[in-house]
């Protein structure tokens, strides 16, 4: 094993040892329960936060462009460390799909239970439009594929600050349109092609669906703790803006890199919550975390969807933090919430398929 592999192995087993300790021991290590806004923070995530604070550098979470490549590498490493065991039976294939200006890296996940022709989720990773990759989201895509029985096509997109808005969105739209048009080549069915993502990727998924409202739209949208209103102030961004992983200060840094000139006055796609009309979008599953600065972004958007007549299932998981779908190996509550999303995906696409069968 090389040095990087040894480090991943050591960190992974270290975390599994700590989070496998008896609950009373973990509670002692985490400290007294944290209660805020009528919610209690999940004790495992509280302990994770304490460990992260001990390991953090002194920059306080500054996004340093001079070492951005290393920060991106660390994001990939963190995902590998936190990966769940027992998902090696998922078949994967690396490929390229067309983006707006060139090819994008992608990875197809095929669960053993997937039939020859089946549903597919085109998935976009999180990372504030600045970090993240097919590698960083690999553990979550494996879990979603295993638990939903749905093919997952994870697609990269150009990142800021090298490629500011709307590069990521243009890539996401191009990738989805290609995937739907070539679903058969991927073992899937065009009419059963959904779109999804977490955080920044959840934003991209929602905007892609909105852009396709008058065309060949996704069958379903899966959005985990999405950002929907860049440059927003107050509310959950202030209440949970420090001490729970993602901070308001860091969020502002990410938004400035993605939207260096702010939200264009003639283009609300950078803040989909401000769209004048959301009607015509496909059904949406939207999950938020109780201790997330972006909680209001997601819940206000769910309210807008309902008001415009779009079927939406909105779930708040009160004890969780932003990015919980990356912590399923250490938090039972985070895993349950992620499995809820997988169940919603499976049920929604099964319903679409049954309706197609009736029409045939």
Catalytic residues: 199, 292, 322
Residue with tokens 């069968």: 357
Alpha helical stretches, state H, 166-309: 167-181, 200-211, 236-239, 248-258, 295-307
List, in order, residues 6 or more apart from 128 with CB less than 8 Å away: 199, 200, 227, 250, 251, 254, 255, 257, 258
**SS3 call for 60:** coil
d(Cα 162, Cα 324) in Å, to the nearest integer? 28
3-class DSSP state of 265: coil
CA-CA-CA-CA torsion sign (24, 29, 31, 34): negative
What whole-number distance in Å separates Cα of residue 290 and Cα of residue 115?
37
Question: What is the C-alpha separation between 345 and 351, in angstroms, rounded?
Answer: 10
Q: Find tokens 């550098």 and name the residue.
A: 57
Instruction: Please answer whether residues 237 and 192 qualify as being in contact, where contact means their C-beta atoms are separated by less than 8 angstroms.
Output: no
């Amino acid at each position: 094993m090389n040095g990087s592999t040894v480090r991943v192995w050591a960190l992974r087993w270290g975390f599994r040892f700590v989070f496998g300790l008896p609950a009373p021991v973990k509670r002692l290590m985490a400290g007294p329960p944290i209660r805020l806004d009528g919610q209690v923070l999940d004790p495992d995530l509280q302990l994770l936060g304490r460990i992260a604070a001990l390991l953090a550098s002194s920059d306080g979470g500054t996004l340093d462009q001079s070492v951005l490549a290393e920060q991106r590498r660390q994001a990939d490493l963190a995902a590998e460390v936190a990966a769940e065991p027992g998902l090696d039976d998922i078949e994967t294939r690396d490929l390229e799909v067309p983006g707006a200006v060139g090819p994008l890296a992608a990875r197809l996940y095929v669960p053993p239970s997937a039939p020859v022709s089946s549903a597919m989720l085109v998935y976009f990773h999180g990372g504030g439009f600045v970090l993240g990759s097919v590698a960083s989201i690999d553990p979550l895509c494996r879990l979603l594929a295993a638990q939903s029985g749905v093919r997952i096509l994870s697609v990269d997109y150009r990142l800021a600050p090298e490629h500011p808005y709307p590069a990521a969105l243009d890539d996401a739209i191009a990738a989805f349109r290609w995937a739907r048009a070539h679903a058969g080549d991927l073992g899937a069915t065009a009419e059963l092609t959904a779109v999804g993502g977490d955080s920044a990727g959840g934003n991209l998924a929602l905007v892609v669906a909105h852009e396709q409202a008058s065309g060949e739209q996704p069958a379903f949208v899966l959005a985990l703790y999405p950002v929907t209103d860049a440059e927003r102030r107050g509310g959950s961004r202030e209440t949970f803006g420090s001490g729970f992983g993602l901070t308001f200060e860091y969020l502002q840094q990410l938004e400035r890199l993605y939207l260096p000139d702010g939200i264009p006055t003639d283009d609300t796609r950078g803040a989909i919550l401000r769209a004048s009309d959301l009607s015509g979008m496909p059904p949406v599953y939207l999950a938020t975390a109780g201790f997330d600065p972006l909680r209001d972004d997601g819940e206000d958007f769910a309210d807008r969807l309902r008001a415009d007549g779009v079927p939406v299932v909105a779930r708040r998981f009160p004890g969780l933090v932003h990015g919980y779908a990356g912590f399923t190996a250490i938090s039972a509550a985070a895993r349950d919430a992620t499995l809820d999303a997988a169940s919603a995906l499976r049920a929604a696409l099964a319903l679409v398929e049954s309706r197609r069968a009736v029409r045939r």
